[in-house]
Chains A and B, each alone.
Chain A
Amino acid sequence: MEEKDFIQKLLNPKTQNVAFQELLHEYQKPLYNHIRNIVLNHDDTDDVLQNTFVKVFQHLKNFKGDSKLFSWMYRIATNEAITFINLKSKRNGTTSEALQSKIVDNLKADSFFDGNEIQIKLQKAITLLPEKQQLVFKMKYFEEIKYEAMSDVLGTSVGALKASYHHAVKKIEIYMISN
């Protein structure tokens, strides 16, 4: 089905419910992974993912179709996740970097984390990157999103994204060797 037709179904009150459930079904897993990679623990991801879909529903009317549904939804999810991390660190009187490294330090105890030493090391290396490089690395390496699509989501040129990813990989490789 053409994306335009699907958006029409989402906007029409008669077909809205069915179409929205389709949207949920298609996007819940990839958006879960995207958010989880940013906020790191499951319960927070659950909250942010629900908020994301509620926001998507509320703003469907304003979706002009200038961008793809995919990029629009990833943009909302990314904003929700980053806002959440910032709010949570503020509530705990710390910075978002400090909060993330604390979560990663406790990953072993997280019942919904199932990774070995290398996986924990990689997560640790990521928290040391600047925010934008973190985001680009996670989207490229874990989520395998293409640069063109990522460019639509983040509003950054493909060239700049490639450079970001390259820098991120270099820093991570250095960290993996030296620690």
Chain B
Amino acid sequence: MTMNEFKLDEQPKIKSGFKVPENYFDDFSAKVLKQLPENEPKIITLFTRKKTWLYAVAAIIIIALSIPIYTTILTQESTLDKTTIENYLTNQDAISDDELVNLLDEDDIQKMKINFNIEDKAIEDLLSTNSNLEEYIIN
């Protein structure tokens, strides 16, 4: 070989010179195998997806079943009978007569009017048989 001629392919092969640490390949595959995902990831996702579907269906069933219960509770509440309300109001000391009157409208008052169709004679009879009449007149 002269200084101005260098033929790479006619030369003995020049090696790269890179060395591998001793026993490097002995445990290399074990090192790689440790890093591999253990299970097939697809199976896991399918399974969890199935689970979510189950939860969703269960939730819908529970809601559907509870609708009739809800509605009965609601209707019961709205049909508290009138006597209960009346009893409550009359026994309620905290509500004054004035407050009650304010709550009544014209219609209610008309309904409360009672007809006293009593004849004069009946009154006279009643008064004459009453022994305490004098007392009433004096007072």
Contact = CB atoms under 8 A, between A and B. Distances in A.
Interface string B31-67: 1110111001000000000000000000000000000
Interface string B18-34: 11110011001101110
Nearest to A32: B20
A25 B33 CA distance: 12
A57 B36 contact: yes
B136 interface: no
Nearest to A46: B24
A57 B39 CA distance: 12
Nearest to B14: A122
Contact of B8 (A54, A123, A169): A169
A177 B5 contact: yes
Contacts of B28: 24, 28, 49
Contacts of B16: 33, 36-37, 115, 119, 123, 142
Contacts of A67: none
Contacts of B19: 42, 112-114
Contacts, number: 78
B68 interface: no
Interface string B84-125: 000000000000000000000000000000000000000000
Contacts of A58: 37
Interface residues of B, number: 27
Interface string A16-42: 010011001100110011001100101
Given A173-B7, A177-B3, A29 B25 contact: yes
A123 B14 CA distance: 10
Nearest to B2: A177
B20 A24 contact: no
A119 B32 contact: no
A87 interface: no
A30 to B, nearest CB: 12
Contacts of B24: 46
6 contacts: A20-B33, A21-B29, A112-B18, A142-B16, A169-B8, A177-B5
Interface of A: 13, 17, 20-21, 24-25, 28-29, 32-33, 36-37, 40, 42, 46, 49-50, 53-54, 57-58, 107, 112-116, 118-120, 122-123, 141-142, 169, 172-173, 176-177
Given A20-B33, A42-B21, A123-B16, 7 more contacts: A17-B33, A28-B29, A33-B16, A113-B19, A115-B17, A119-B15, A173-B6
